[in-house]
Amino acid sequence: MDRIKLLVVDDHTIVREGICALLELSPETIVLGEAANGKEALEMIKKLGPDVVLMDIVMPVMDGLQATRCICKDFPRVKVLVLTQHDDREHVFEVIEAGAVGFIDKTTVSSELVRGIRAVYRGDSFLSPQVARYLVEDFQHEYPERKNRDSYAQLTNREREILKLLAEGYTTREIAKLLVLSPKTVEGHKTRLMAKLDLRNRVELVKYAMRKGIVKI
């Protein structure tokens, strides 16, 4: 049976080395390489073609969330299994949305890590008991807040930029000139951002921007 090809991504060298040492003991897995951040990981995926990427979340240069999105978009065959810790629990929902198919706590035993790798490799999802508990606790405590949370987080960076300029009184043509875009493109962004925020006109838009502290009186 072919061994499952892995790429280990973590910005802490000692953690990467420990994970790799554990995985090399398993006859089911082989570590093709290591990366210290998401950018390095994307470059190594192109060169090495791993089956599964073990992904840390909080890293410099490019974090695990950004890297997971890129991997799922550009390398859909590659499975992302996140190695998380207690302090990363607030990121779990975001990385699920980004396309990760499994989560394992960094404190888990090696046998569970291999079991998770095996599961995601064959197309299943996998949550270690610790991470499953975090998800349940967060859902129970935060779901009411999430349900009513402001939609600002849904906006793209460009939409936020245009929102600010509109609230400051710039016209569509002025914004187009400032951002080197066509007026039609600006109008498209404006339409989408107002739909996401459930705003109907510029007055509501300005009031919203003031409440959020995007612009001041």
- 196-200 contacts at long range (C-beta below 8 A, 24 or more positions apart): 196/151, 196/154, 196/155, 196/159, 197/151, 197/152, 197/155, 197/163, 198/151
pLDDT at 30 > cutoff 60:
yes
- pTM score, whole prediction: 0.61
* pLDDT confidence tier of residue 141, bands split at 50, 70 and 90: low
In Å, what is the CA distance from 174 to each residue of 145, 198, 210? 37, 24, 21
* pLDDT confidence tier of residue 216, bands split at 50, 70 and 90: low
Cβ proximity of 165 and 154 under 8 Å: no
Torsion sign (Cα): 168, 169, 171, 177: negative
DSSP letter (8 states) at residue 124: -
Tokens of 214: 């995007």
pLDDT at 188 > cutoff 70:
yes
* pLDDT confidence tier of residue 99, bands split at 50, 70 and 90: confident
Q: Report which of 48, 90, 88 is spatially closest to residue 104, judged by C-alpha positions.
A: 88
What share of the chain in percent tops pLDDT 70? 87
Tokens of 139: 């859902």
Q: Determine the Cα–Cα distance for residues 147 and 217; give it in Å rounded to an integer.
A: 30
Residue ranges and CATH numbers for the domains of the chain are 4-146 (3.40.50.2300), 151-211 (1.10.10.10)
Q: Which residues pair with 41 in a beta bridge?
A: none
Residue found under tokens 């599964």 = 52
In Å, what is the CA distance from 139 to each residue of 144, 189, 203? 9, 32, 35
In Å, what is the CA distance from 35 to each residue of 141, 166, 174, 180? 35, 42, 44, 37
**Pairwise pLDDT comparison (20 vs 138), residue with the higher score:** 20
Phi and psi at 31, nearest 5°, equal: -90, 115
Radius of gyration of the chain (CA): 21
> Helices marked H in 25-156 — which ranges?
38-48, 64-74, 92-98, 110-121, 129-148
